[in-house]
Every structure is written in C-alpha cells, then in structure tokens.
Structure 1
C-alpha cells in the first residue's frame, strides 16, 4: 500500500522547508504527498522576509477539497500562522478524523523569536490533543512545557515526559540543538504505551558536520508520518525516518543551494540506488534491440548463402555443410539452454528453457541421422566454436539475464528469416523443409515467448546488467552472420 499523506503547512520558495520539503520527504519514503497551504512565506536559506496568510475560509476550502475526494492515511501539520488557521485545521480534524496525525509545532524561529502570539499559542496547545505525535525541537519543547530551553539531554526528556503527560500525546524529543558529537532523539509516552510498556525509546546517531540543515524538522516529521503508515508502529517509523534523514543531510552539500543553511538532499539515496533513467518496459526494449541490430540483419540477408537459400539456387554441398555445423552447434546450444533453466528463478521460465533444451537435442539427433547418416561428429568449424564458446561462457558466469539475452538471437533471427523466406517459391522448393521449420506458427510462438522472457528480465534489471544483456545479444547476432557466411567459404573447392 502506498500511504496517502497530506501536508498542511507553509511554503518555502527555495524548496528546502515547509510544504516543498514535506512533499519531497513523503515521496522519498514511499508515500503519495498532498498539500494544503496555510501561508505563503517569502524565505530562503538565510531567513524569512515576509508571510502572507490566506483567509481562513480558503484554508477550509482546501482541506475540504482534499478530504471530500481522497482517502487520507496520514496528516502532517507544520506552520499554522495564526489562531484562525489553527481553528480551521482543528475543526477539519474533528470532522475528518484521519488515522495518523503528526504535528510539527512551528513556534520558535531559528533566531529564538516567538512566531505566534499568545492567542495562537493557546489555540495550538488545544490542537496538540488532536495529534498522535508532536515533534518539537528544543526551543519549542520548552514553550510547550512552560520552561526554559533544556541544556542537556536529561532535561529535554524530562520536558518531553511533562508535555506527553499534560496533553496525552506521544512526543518525539529531538536533540539536534544540543551540543555533542552524538545526536539523540527519543519517542516519549508518559502513559507507557511504547513497546514493552516503556515510556522512552531512544535513538542515537553521529552528528553530520554540515550547514545543510534547512528544513530538517519539516522533513523528519513528514517522513515519520509516511513511515508510520507503512510500518504500522511508531518506533520503526522513527528509526527508518532518522536513517533516511541522516543520509539526506550528509548529501545536502552536493546540492549547492543557497548561501545560508542549505537544504538536505531528500532523494540522495533514492537516486544513487535507483538511478535517474526511466526504466523501459519490455515492448520498448524489444523494439529498441531489434532496431539496433538492423545492420546485422541486413548483413545476413545480403549473404550469398541466404540469397541462395531463398531462391533455391544454393549448392547442396554448402547446405549439407551448414546442417552438419548446425548439429555441432545444437549440442552445446542445448547445454546453454539447460543452464538457463537451472539459473531461472521462476517455474514458468524454468519449464520454457528446459523444453527448448529438449527440442534442441531432438533436432540435433534428427540432423545427425538425416545429414551425417550416423557417422561421427564432423570437425567443428571456427565460426561454430566461437559462437558456442560465447554462449557457454555466459552460462559459466551464472548470470541468468545475460545468458538468456545471448540465447535470444537463435530464436529471433531464425524466426524472422524463416517467416519471410517461407513465402518464397512453391512446394517444390529444394529447401522447403528448412524454410517451413523456421517459418511455422509453433516456432513463431516459441520465439515470442523467448522475446517476452528476455525483455522482461532486462526491463527489471539495473542499468549495468541491462547493458551487459544488450552486449551479449548483439555479439550473438554477429555470430549468426559468421555462421551463415561460413558454409560457402568452407565448401568452395580449393587448388
């Protein structure tokens, strides 16, 4: 399930805090983000320059527009600029009752100035009781506790217990404002409803030496809201959110945004692990790969062997030499197909490649009887040896995806060629049996299945693996050119 998370907060034109940070955090931790704007804030990484607060009625309209249409799994509440905004949100929460509510009480500026007047602070205290979790920083925790800001971790957790007890709410006490190389946060519940009946669950991490801390409170609270839906419990939600935020803070300097306290890099981990290129779908890959070997396919069609096969003028000795090498090829091709079956993880793929291996062995036995008359194995031509060495090397490396990509041209090239050549000539065509074998509906269906399995494997692979698959496919196509070239050269009289 993808959590549908609503952020109710102010804006940040530079994108590092407020709703912009919330939406990035929600997306980065696996949720679908929605936003209701409480205030338009003129700010950057250096500070706030101005705030425009829309009328309470418009805020209420935004809230209703979302909840009338979308099922909301979690709500994160950030900046509420005045008492009217707080009352509008409070009224909406009572009517909507979302299952998870996280309140980040934006009350104190970085400078230490109070952002809300006395009436708004009273209204915000009333709102806290409607939240499941409140996430104050050290100065905000002090305001809620009615005390001076804590100067050590013990003081912070004591204030958090007091706030939890007073408002009946879970508190995430954050120690980022306290000195020291270790940063502590803690989930605090005076009612003892945490795992094992505990009142405090502590989290620790190394402090990252950076100026990129703009919007960390917004980012953490929205990530916790999202992950609470995903995990179903506050403790793993906070743990996962802290790990994600630490990674994002550490990469923040790479963004090079602003001259003050820059933003965190919300998608640093996602981009590094997932890449930036759109993952293609199987049909797109099939079309792309086939187009990219158009030059190889033209080379094959222009070969004298293939032209003679098409019009029936091909020398019989050359064709028999080709069939003898095909028997040699099929011996090791069947081994590579069997390896693909063993390496495949799904039963459908295992059965398909195993059936193809049996079919290749049966065709080899047929050719051996029909062409060689039961005689011994003919010498393996260099072109044949190079082709099977390519396939067996792919099998030996044990990468299923690369192996099946290398196997695919023997389906695709032959089916394409056979289906077009089968339309040439009449029933008396000297090579009618060969043309019909590779142009029939059964082989066409088998080829389509092979294409689907290979391109699906490629579409779900990472980029380096997909590149290796493409290279293996291309090399096999080039070996097909050599395989069709060799018969006339080998059967041509010398001397």
Structure 2
C-alpha cells in the first residue's frame, strides 16, 4: 500500500456552519455586522446578516443611529429563514423596543439551534447605544439565548449595579443575571486591569456554576468591536463543538491572535479594529491554492480510480488473495523507491520544517513495509520482479525531482492525497472482511494530516514559482495521478 505514513485518512467534507448576524452596522468595518461576518468566516462559518440599525460610527465614537421601519426588519428575517437552514444566530444591537419585540417573536417561531446574544448597550468608546425603554425591552429576549456575552458595563446594566471593579464582582453580577433570566452568561474581564484576562462561563443552574478561563492580556489599542467579534466566533464554533466552554475557548484563542495584529491594520484614529484574518494571512497567505485547482482538473480520473475493481473488491472483501499479494509485492518495490525520493526531497528543502516532514515520511514508508507487508507474507525483497507500471511511476518521480524541488513535491502529492480520498470513500469495513486491517489503515488520521501537510508544501512552492515552473508542477502532478490510477488497475482481477 503506497503510503508515506502508515495508513490513510479521508479528507472528510467539513460541515460549514450557517450563521446569521442580526445587528447594527459600522461603516468603518470594525464592529457590528461587518465584524460579525469577518469573525464567522475566520472561524470557519458562512455568514449572513440582517440589519437592525444603521449606525454612523467610527473608531472614535458613535455619531447617530437610524432605525429602519420594523416592517423592513421583518422582511429581512423572513427572507433568510424562509430559504436557508440557519445553524446559529448571533444577535447584536437591537435599536429600540419595537425592534427587540420583532426579533424576539422571530426567534420564538424559528427556534434556531444556537442563539448567542451580545446585549449591545455600551460601545467600546463608552457611548450608550440603547434607550432606557429599549434596555427594559431587551429583558424579554435574553431567555431565548443559549448564551449572552455582555461586557463589564453591560453586565452592570443588566444586574442593576455599578460596573464591577474587580473579577469577583464580575462573577457575582454574572451569577445574578444568569439566575434572573435563566441563561448562561459569558463573564468577561477585558475591561479590568491586570496582565491576565479572566473569563468565565457562568450558569447559575448548572452543576458547576462558574467555569473559568484565562489568557494573557494583549497590550493594544485595537479593541473596537471585540465584543461583536467574540460573540460571533462563539456562535460559529458552538455549531460544530456542541459544548459552550470549548466554543468559548476556541473563540478566545482566535481573538487573542487577532488582537495581537490589530494595530498593524492602521485603521482609524481611535480604538482600531482587531485583525480578523491575521492567522489566515500569516499561515495561508493571499495566494490561491494551486493544488486545489489541480485536484478539480483530475476529478474524472479520481472517480474512475475509486470504482476500480481492485478497490471495490478490497472494500467488499471479494478481492482474491493472489491479486492482493501480487499488489503487495509491487507496493513493496514502490515503497522502497518512494522512500528514496522523499529522502531526496528532505535534502533539497530549504525550510527545516519541510526537511523534517519529508525525512519522517521516508522513514515511515519503510516502517509500513515491515509492519504490514510482512503480515501478509510479502517480504521487503519480493520474489516478483518490479512491474512496468511500478517502474514507470518510480522513473517519473525521479525525473520530476531531477527537474527541481517544486516539481518533486508536486509529483509526490497524489500518493498522499488520492490515498486519503480513497480512504474517505471506502468507508468503514465489515467485520468479516479479510482486508479490514488494510482498509482501516486508509482511514488513519495521521495520514490525513500528512496529506494536508504535503498539500500545504506544494501550495507554498507553487505560490513562489514562476509561471512556467507552476505549469511543470501541474504536469508532474497529473502524471503521478495517472500512474496512481494505473497502479490500482494493474492489481485488478483479470
């Protein structure tokens, strides 16, 4: 089984949370629905937005608020919920009492599975954003939430107290609010002093009423819209984790990173916004994925491969043992040559991380050969001579690597990626399948990570390459994909 690491795992299709933001606007893009949409996307969701209020604000403060007719708000809400299955809703600024009543009625009718309410009453600048009547009306929507995320001044308004001056008082107020409205509260300590920021998931009715988190404080003036951004991120994560503390922890980790890079944006003269996509830009860059394009271009070849009689026979256990052992003999030849190519890429790589990845993969090839091939009676020096397809594949890998590092990494990528995809499509094996152990190795999570790492290396190499080298990389990738297809076909029953 041609694998640079033991086993293979499918790159399973990820569920993308569909998250609706119901909030006001910020023309500078750092808060409100603009920040919500960025946060949702940065945390892996698909963002939608319904506007409750048009806010003339910037990084220095709020100038005015215009609330559209409530009938138009109703049309927006129905337009989304009549057409789209909503996984989560984040509710932010709710303008006035009529808007709050409309949103509350819609939430009761639609009943989204995840509701996070950021009770926007006080902006980072200190401006009050709701009238006293609206603040009272807000109380009726709070029990509809799975979680509310007030900052220290907003928590004080809900508790009917002065803003807390220390962490113990924040927790006390959060417990009071949680008990009064029967809702979980994310108590946030960002407004307090100190080198550590404390937060807590507070549920007065829970077995553990206060569950604390902490993170180092990021010294920055880029704090505009942090509440909007955090609540949207939590709502997005809650769809996939199903656990509020885990969702908060992941959202906080993302926000901490985004805060560190906020000032680099140089947006505004007051409290600037966080850098929502700092992690993506740092780790993924702005270049498009060359490998993603290549993958689409071999779609038909991939479909033909997964339906090959060798693989279908392996999946249902009907493949003859002779065919399988013959395949193992060729695979042993392949693994010997493939390990040599990977070792060569390790020597060619300039990046120490890439050097370690290729070297580790080369070693794992030989480990796989020893552990799995011999279990089926195939030694590391098979009696069967090397076949024409195996020879052609290894010759191609050597030729591509001779042409340069970029072509080499493109050539070895299909062995990772196609095997991972095959593992996903084969699915779980039946208990009585004689090849069950082998099928299970196709779905090893370590190999899924290995495939993603190899793809990342290829994408980085392609992003830095000249156009002609990128074309040569595609040609090397395509040729390897064709040879993967032929390798399986060579082992198919006659």
TM category (shorter chain) comes to: 0.5 to 0.7
- Partner of 2:144: helix, strand, or coil? coil
Contact 2:174 2:202 (8 Å CA) reproduced = yes
1:60-459 to 2 correspondences below 5 Å = 60-110=74-124, 112-192=126-206, 197-280=207-290, 336=337, 339=340, 355-356=387-388, 358-359=390-391, 401=409, 404=412
Q: Deviations over 1:417-445 (max 9, x none)?
A: xxxxxxxxxxxxxxxxxxxxxxxxxxxxx
- Residues of 2 paired with 1:361 and 1:189: CA distance? 60
Is it true that 1:28 corresponds to 2:38 in the alignment?
no
Normalization by structure 2: what TM-score? 0.63
- Residues of 2 paired with 1:282 and 1:98: CA distance? 34
Contact 1:26 1:226 (8 Å CA) reproduced = yes
- Partner of 2:290: helix, strand, or coil? coil
Alpha carbons of 1:334 and 1:173: their partners in 2 closer, same or farther (altered >3 Å)?
closer
Normalization by structure 1: what TM-score? 0.63
Is it true that 1:9 corresponds to 2:23 in the alignment?
yes
Superposed displacement of residue 109, structure 1 = 3.7
Higher gyration radius (CA): 1
2:54 corresponds in structure 1 to: 40
What is the CA RMSD across the aligned residues, in angstroms?
4.0
Contact 1:333 1:360 (8 Å CA) reproduced = no
- Residues of 1 paired with 2:387 and 2:401: CA distance? 18
In structure 1, runs of 5+ residues without a counterpart are 288-331, 364-386, 408-453, 478-495
Superposed displacement of residue 49, structure 1 = 1.1
> Which structure is higher in RCO with an 8 Å CA cutoff and minimum separation 6?
2
- Residues of 2 paired with 1:255 and 1:139: CA distance? 27
- Partner of 1:461: helix, strand, or coil? helix
- Residues of 2 paired with 1:361 and 1:237: CA distance? 46
Is it true that 1:462 corresponds to 2:470 in the alignment?
no
- Residues of 1 paired with 2:222 and 2:72: CA distance? 34
Q: Deviations over 1:352-411 (max 9, x none)?
A: xx7556445999xxxxxxxxxxxxxxxxxxxxxxx97995898xx9x9735649x9xxxx
| Aligned residues between the structures | 350
Superposed displacement of residue 340, structure 1 = 5.6
- Partner of 2:44: helix, strand, or coil? coil
In structure 2, runs of 5+ residues without a counterpart are 1-14, 298-332, 344-360, 374-385, 416-450, 476-494
- Residues of 1 paired with 2:179 and 2:105: CA distance? 24
Alpha carbons of 1:393 and 1:190: their partners in 2 closer, same or farther (altered >3 Å)?
same
- Residues of 2 paired with 1:186 and 1:243: CA distance? 14
Contact 2:178 2:184 (8 Å CA) reproduced = yes
Alpha carbons of 1:152 and 1:464: their partners in 2 closer, same or farther (altered >3 Å)?
same
Contact 1:340 1:403 (8 Å CA) reproduced = no
- Residues of 2 paired with 1:283 and 1:133: CA distance? 40
Alpha carbons of 1:118 and 1:461: their partners in 2 closer, same or farther (altered >3 Å)?
same
